[in-house]
Structure 1
Amino acid sequence: MHPIAPFPHARPRRLRRTPWIRDLVAEHRLTASDLIWPIFVREGTDVAEPVASLPGVDRLSVDRAVRAAEEAAGLGIPCLALFPYTEAKDKNREATEAWNPENLVCRATRAIKAAVPEIGVLLDVALDPYNADGHDGLVRDGVILNDETLVALERMALVQAAAGCDILGPSDMMDGRIGVIRAALERDGFQDTAIMSYAAKYASCFYGPFRDAVGATGALKGDKKSYQMDPANTDEALREVAADLAEGADMVMVKPGLPYLDVCARVKAEFGVPTYAYQISGEYAMIEAAAANGWLDGEKAMLETLLAFKRAGCDGILTYFAPRVARLLGG
């Protein structure tokens, strides 16, 4: 840091005096193009079903998801992330619905790409929405199986790529899954399908509302600490990112977001690759709950937290606030 002139020759407040000069010297900016909008899809027609633990967020039928994509395109949001609400009848211990080419997210992807081809679609690669045990991997005798799960994830990734998704988001945290998925994409002619690896995904308490939204809350047996990361560790995150990049990831993600800004900053500084954070359901729900109780200004908290991701070096943010923020930024 270079020395600055002593007071009164240096008065830092000169550059904070008016809105226009603050804009002129701002170091970081949040734009609609920084946002990825996660939406939940469910069966039905013309359905928008509220998620109780995520105020303002609905589970959408495929036709409504297409309308959301049209809205996103109009707001300048470049990409949607789709997650399925899976009925109990479609879950089993082998998670076979995950690679059914007619499952919810595949149908929604095809419908969105047909109606709004300019919008990007990101699909999650993990078994938990389809697994009767609620885990991201296959379970035998209480043990989450790594290598057997990789076979299922490969099949899942290929049907998603065939459905037309632009980005695969492996979020399962199984060892070696990026290399397996990348090799399968290359082999089967999906060379242009990108991978945004959930490279540093922590075993966090903030996922609760998301599990409600996808119908996984009651299914989960035990916890995910044997494959998701320990919140105490940051060096480990760098090793995970390095491994995923070496296996063929194009972009990396840190999840959760705000409690792990230090990890975002370290990843961006160390690797200089496109780096994303997921402002997850618990983070969103806390802001919404506090705003609903009048404890803080929800709009200002929304904008301030999203700007914090940019300040930490993130190239983009997955956030349920996306359409609301985009409307505000668009004036």
Structure 2
Amino acid sequence: MKKIFYFLCLSVITLTFSSCNDDDNDDTKKPTSFDEIDEKIMYSFETSSQSMSNTLDVKVILQGEESGKSFTAPEDINIPFEVDAASTAEIGTDYSIDGYTPTETAAADSDEPKLKHFITVKAGSNEGSVRFTAGESVTKIKEIILKLNAPEKNTDKFYLGNYDQMNIYITKANTDFNNFAGNWKPVEITNKLNWINLEIPAEDYTNLPETFNADDYLEIVNINDSKKIVPHVTGSLKNYFCGAEHEVSFLSVENFFDMSMIDNWDGIDIIYYTIKGANKYFSATKSEPADLKIGFYKVDDNTINIFIHEYVPTDFFYSSFNDTFFGEWNFNAPSVFGITYKFTRIQ
């Protein structure tokens, strides 16, 4: 009886190890050539925009249509990208690309050349990157516009993902979102002089959103690169920050000037984010959640400015927004209807 029991145990153990080995073989089996791949492969930049003050690794990712992120390249894959002629940054002066001597190809829509390069995804991986380095002499924002193209080899195996264009903003501004983390109390609107200088009728901005209650504050958090604004407001700002919390994602860095800044004609470099679910109408009576453009500027460690630069004037600026002159402007015209708020840190 003991021998039979021993034999049965040994058989179970043997079958278990065989089964495990079979599973391992299935898991580790990877294609070694494109002939073995029977699915389409998505290629894309990792994101649509980033800022660069020193260096930046520009990344391209691959995913299988069926295998997803588990896809790995069976061989080295060169994915071409071009520096678009519309870029304001000049390679060799404003930035460099590691390991590249650029070759020029004619741009389809411009007399200026594009610069053609490759990002290599190594065999066994599903991503590749190349390092950009900002030039030391950059003093104003410069933009690099990258366009991604399909691999020239096995082109029929690939399809484009979310991001075929990437905008890189070269700036000396510190774009680290942690600069804005903390609890911030609204103090005042700081750019009323803009509307005076533009001769917007005073009655059109008598109903400005500038009622701040004693306990109003914005909680700005960045946890594991998850950026959020959590509003604790019962005054006017609740008409914009209308959700329990709002995710934000980096959008761009842009130089901004309005007529309240006549002592600083060079303007300032604002860091723009996309805020999700804010009220498009910035109104107490009309609400529609939308993804909008919001700006941040660090004045000092205890003071920041927040720029509401995208909304549809409803409770204020309504007449000016709809008259014959300002009707040429839409709600993306921050130099006319943008509102600048000063916030101070709650210690």
* TM category, shorter: under 0.3
Question: Relative contact order (C-alpha < 8 Å, sep 6+): which is higher?
Answer: 1
User: Larger % of strand: which?
Assistant: 2
User: Larger % of helix: which?
Assistant: 1
TM-score by length of 2: 0.21
